[in-house]
Amino acid sequence: MNFTESQDRATGELVELVASCLGAERAIHPETAIASTARLAGSLLLRSFGLPLGKLEPGSVVLSDAANEKGPMLVEILAAYLAGAEVPIQRDQLGGEPARRGAQPHLSTVQSLAQLQDEAMAIAERHGLTLEQLAQSAALATAFLVRECAPRIGAETGFNIATYGFVEGSKTVPPRSSRPGSGPVPAAARPWYKFW
């Protein structure tokens, strides 16, 4: 998949958004960062379908054929990025029970989305991206986080958390916007990552 220059810039801003919103002094919990970014990607994809989500209770499950058809694209972006970055993955450790995914994220799906969605929408607007294009950028940001966190939690664990997060985001009614018209994400002045 070819990403536009705007999508590449948006990807960087999404990574910075995750670090600034979910980190404490730029230190992040790897499983929470990966899950939250993946959930955002899935949620943006869900929103792109034009379903009447505003009439549904946030956090409730919503099933759609479009999510089943387009959702695998997010996993393909993740896998392609990791392969291109030569991140070794043992395929026999992919999938399985949630307990095999590593430590649990510190935020629920709705909490993750509440932290990130408004600023993500501002990023889409700033770069003239559709929600589907921003979902692709969020999937790429997720892949970057998996690569960065692999030495600490293992690439397979990161991959599993990400794929589960894509599904959670694409099948969960997102929270209502809490900060309409939120401003821009500040540019990163130094590397965003520091793992604890």
Q: What is the pLDDT of residues 158-173, one digit of tens each?
A: 999 999 999 999 999 9
Amino acid, res. 168 = E
- Concatenated DSSP letters of 8-66: HHHHHHHHHHHHHHH-BTTBB-HHHHHHHHHHHHHHHHHHHTT--GGGS-TT-B---HH
Q: What is the pLDDT of residues 140-155, one digit of tens each?
A: 999 999 999 999 998 9
Lowest mean pLDDT among 70-84, 95-109, 111-125: 95-109
181, two tokens: 């018209």
pLDDT of residue 192: 40
Distance from the Cα of residue 128 to its chain's centroid: 19
Residue 119 has pLDDT above 90, yes or no: yes
Nearest-angstrom CA–CA distance, 76 and 57: 30
Confidence (pTM): 0.86
Nearest-angstrom CA–CA distance, 119 and 188: 15
Nearest-angstrom CA–CA distance, 175 and 2: 31
